[in-house]
C-alpha cells in the first residue's frame, strides 16, 4: 500500500494537471466509443496498449474476461457485466463492444485444469469462488475447446455472433505459436462474443447493425495485439503490414 501512496504523490507532481484538463474537457459531453471487457490480470493495461485516454471507453475487468450468458439469469440480470453493457450501450449509446483476452492468463490456466472432474467437483467449487466462477461461466468455452482438441485442433470452430443467424468461422493458432492454454484463451475470448449477444436488451441494436462486437487478444510476452478478423477467420497481429487492411474491414462491416 505504501507503494500506491508514493505513486499517488508522483501523479500529483507530474500528470495530475494534464489529467484534470482532460477530465474538464469531457465533463459535460463525454463520448466514449467502446465498452472494453478484459481480464483483471495486473499485466493488462488496456489504456496503454490501445493508446486511449480519459473519456474514450468504459473498461470492465474480471477473472478471465468473462461475460456470463443471459441464461444464467432467470428473473433479473444481477451481475456487473450485463449492468456494464446496459450502462454503456443503452444509457450511453456506445456502438462498439470489445472483448480482450491474453496469453498466460491465470484464469484460463486454471480453466484448463478444470477438465479434471475431481478438480472441478462441487466440493472444490464450494471451497473456491474462482473455480465456481469458471465452472459456471466458462464451461461453454472449455467444452468447445475440448471438442476441437479431440477432433485434432485443425478444423475451424463456428461461433454465433450478433444474432443467432449471424455466425462466423474461426481457425485457432494455425501456426502453432501458442501454448495449449493460450489456444483455450483465444476460444474463450471468441465465446464471449456469443454470450454478449444473448442479452435481450441489446437485441434490437444488434439486429439493426447499430451495435458491434469485436475480439482482441494480447500476447503478454511479445507485446503483440491480435484482432479477430472475420474476413481472415483468425486472430491477425495488428502491425504495419496488416493495420490498413484491418481498418478497411472494420469500416466495411462495422461503420
- Determine the Cα angle at 42 with ends 37 and 47, to 5°: 50
Q: Was 41 annotated as part of a binding site? A: yes
Tell me the average pLDDT across 15-40: 92
Residue 74 is predicted with a pLDDT of 80
The SS3 call for residue 226 is strand
Contact indicator for 153, 175 with CB cutoff of 8 Å: no
User: Lowest mean pLDDT: which of 25-29, 86-90, 227-231, 240-244?
Assistant: 25-29
User: Would you state the pLDDT for residue 28?
Assistant: 80
Name which of 25-34, 48-57, 89-98, 242-251 the model is least confident about. 25-34
- pLDDT, position 27: 85
Which sign, positive or negative, has the C-alpha torsion 106, 130, 112, 136? negative
Instruction: Check whether 105 is labelled as a binding-site residue.
Output: yes
- Average pLDDT score over the chain: 94
Evaluate whether 89 touches 60 at the Cβ level (below 8 Å). no
Dump pLDDT digits (tens) for 229-251.
999 999 999 999 999 999 999 99
pLDDT digit string, tens, across residues 117-148: 888 888 888 899 999 999 999 999 999 999 99
Per-residue pLDDT, 254: 77
Domains and CATH numbers, the chain: 1-30 (no CATH), 33-253 (3.40.1050.10)
In the structure grid, which three cell numbers stand for residue 48, read together?
A: 496503454
Amino acid at each position: 500500500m505504501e507503494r500506491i501512496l508514493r505513486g499517488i504523490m508522483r501523479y500529483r507532481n507530474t500528470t495530475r494537471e494534464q489529467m484534470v484538463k482532460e477530465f474538464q474537457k469531457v465533463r459535460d459531453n463525454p463520448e466514449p466509443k467502446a465498452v472494453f471487457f478484459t481480464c483483471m490480470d495486473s499485466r493488462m493495461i488496456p489504456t496503454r496498449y490501445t493508446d486511449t485516454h480519459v473519456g474514450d471507453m468504459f473498461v470492465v475487468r474480471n477473472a478471465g474476461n468473462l461475460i456470463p450468458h443471459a441464461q444464467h439469469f432467470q428473473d433479473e440480470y444481477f451481475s456487473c457485466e450485463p449492468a456494464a453493457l446496459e450502462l454503456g450501450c443503452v444509457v450511453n449509446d456506445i456502438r462498439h463492444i470489445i472483448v480482450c483476452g491474453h496469453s498466460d492468463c491465470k484464469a484460463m490456466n486454471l480453466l484448463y485444469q478444470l477438465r479434471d472432474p475431481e478438480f472441478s467437483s462441487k466440493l472444490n467449487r464450494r471451497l473456491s469462488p474462482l473455480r465456481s466462477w469458471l465452472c459456471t461461466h466458462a464451461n461453454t468455452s472449455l467444452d468447445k475447446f475440448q471438442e476441437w482438441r479431440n477432433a485434432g485442433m485443425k478444423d475451424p470452430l463456428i461461433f454465433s455472433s450478433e444474432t443467432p443467424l449471424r455466425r462466423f468461422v474461426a481457425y485457432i493458432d494455425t501456426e502453432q505459436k501458442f501454448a495449449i492454454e493460450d489456444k483455450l484463451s483465444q476460444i474463450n475470448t471468441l465465446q464471449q462474443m456469443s454470450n454478449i449477444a444473448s442479452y435481450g436488451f441489446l437485441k434490437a441494436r444488434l439486429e439493426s447493425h447499430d451495435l458491434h462486437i469485436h475480439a482482441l487478444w494480447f500476447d503478454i510476452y511479445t507485446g503483440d495485439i491480435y484482432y479477430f478478423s472475420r474476413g481472415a477467420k483468425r486472430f491477425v497481429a495488428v502491425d504495419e503490414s496488416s493495420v490498413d487492411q484491418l481498418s478497411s474491414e472494420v469500416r466495411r462491416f462495422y461503420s
